[in-house]
Amino acid sequence: MRYTIEIDDVVKAYPLGQGRFIAVDHLSLTVGAGDFVAVVGRSGSGKTTLLNLLAGIDRPTSGTVRVADADLGALSESGLAGWRGRNIGLVFQFFQLLPTLTVAENVMLPMDFAKTIPAGRRRERALQLLDRVGVADQADKLPATLSGGQQQRAAIARALANDPPVLLADEPTGNLDSATAAAVLELFASLNKEGRTIVVVTHEREVRAVAGREVMLQDGRIVTSDTAGESPRQGTKA
C-alpha cells in the first residue's frame, strides 16, 4: 500500500547550550490517503515540530519524510516551496491572513505563487472557495473586519486554493468559541470526505471525535496511535 505520508525514523534536534534538544525522537508514522488524523499531546511534546516537518517548513536532522509522492529531503528550498504550494494546505490557530489584502486577495495569493490557474480565473475560483466555506459575502473586506470564525473559514479557503491533496492544521479551532469551532470542524470533516488527507494538531476533544485516528506524542515520540474502534497500540512505529 502506498501512503500519502510516510516518515521513517525522523529526528529533529535543536541546538541547546553545549548540547542539543531532541524535539522529535526517532519517530515513524504512516498516514493513508484520505485519512483524518488528530495529533495530540502535552505542550512541548513535538506536535508543531512534526507538522512543520510534514509541510517541509523544517527539515529533519535525520530520517526521511515522504509526503504526497515527494521525498522532501531530495528537494531544494525552491523545489520545496513549489511542492508545498501545490500539495499542502496550511491552516493555523491565528488564521495568518495578510491584513492589507482583502479576503479574496488572500485566497488568490497561493494561486498567484503556484501559477497553476490562469490569472484571469483566480478571482472566480477564490469566490467559489469562499462560497464553499460560507463567507462569499466577505470577499472584498479586509480580514480584521471579520469575526474569528469567518477569518478561519477564509483561511481554509486559502488553504484549498491550489486544490491540495493534504491539509495540515495547527490548533485550527483553538481560538474559536465552541459553536464556531464545531462548524469549522464540520468543514474539515466534509473536506476529508472528499478524499483529502488531513492532519490536525489539537488539544480539543471535539477534533479527536471527528478524526478517524489519534496519534499521541510524548517527548517527541508516538506513545499511542489509535484508530477509532481499535485498542491503543504502544510503541514508536505506527
Ligand X SMILES: Nc1ncnc2c1ncn2[C@@H]1O[C@H](COP(=O)(O)OP(=O)(O)OP(=O)(O)O)[C@@H](O)[C@H]1O
CB of 69: closest distance to ligand X in angstroms? 25
Cα distance between residue 201 and residue 215, in whole Å: 9
Q: What DSSP character marks residue 37?
A: E
SS3 content of the chain, % helix, strand, coil (to 5): 35, 30, 35
- The b-or-e profile of 175-196 (16+ CB within 10 A means b, else e) is bbeeebbebbbebbeebbeeeb
* Residue of the chain from 14, 20, 145, 237 that contacts ligand X (CB under 6 A): 14
- The b-or-e profile of 30-46 (16+ CB within 10 A means b, else e) is bbeeebbbbbbbeeebb
50 versus 109: smaller Cβ distance to ligand X: 50
CB of 127: closest distance to ligand X in angstroms? 34
* Residue of the chain from 46, 85, 143, 149 that contacts ligand X (CB under 6 A): 46
> Mind giving me the DSSP string for 124-170?
HHHHHHHHHTT-GGGTTS-GGGS-HHHHHHHHHHHHTTT--SEEEEE
Q: Which three cell numbers stand for residue 59?
A: 527539515
One character per residue 143-172, x = contact with ligand X (rule: CB under 6 A)? ------------------------------
Please report whether residue 47 would count as binding ligand X according to CB under 6 A: yes
Please report whether residue 45 would count as binding ligand X according to CB under 6 A: yes
CB of 142: closest distance to ligand X in angstroms? 28
* Strand, coil or helix: 48: helix
Q: How many residues bind ligand X (CB under 6 A)?
A: 11
Q: Which helix (H) or strand (E) holds 110?
A: helix 103-114
CB of 141: closest distance to ligand X in angstroms? 30
Cα distance between residue 221 and residue 25, in whole Å: 6
Please report whether residue 94 would count as binding ligand X according to CB under 6 A: no
CB of 90: closest distance to ligand X in angstroms? 15
CB of 207: closest distance to ligand X in angstroms? 13
Range in contact with ligand X (rule: CB under 6 A) among 40-48, 140-148, 161-169, 178-186? 40-48
Range in contact with ligand X (rule: CB under 6 A) among 27-35, 43-51, 136-144, 152-160? 43-51
Please report whether residue 41 would count as binding ligand X according to CB under 6 A: yes
Q: What DSSP character marks residue 89?
A: E
Please report whether residue 49 would count as binding ligand X according to CB under 6 A: yes
Residues interacting with ligand X, by CB under 6 A? 14, 21, 23, 41, 43-49
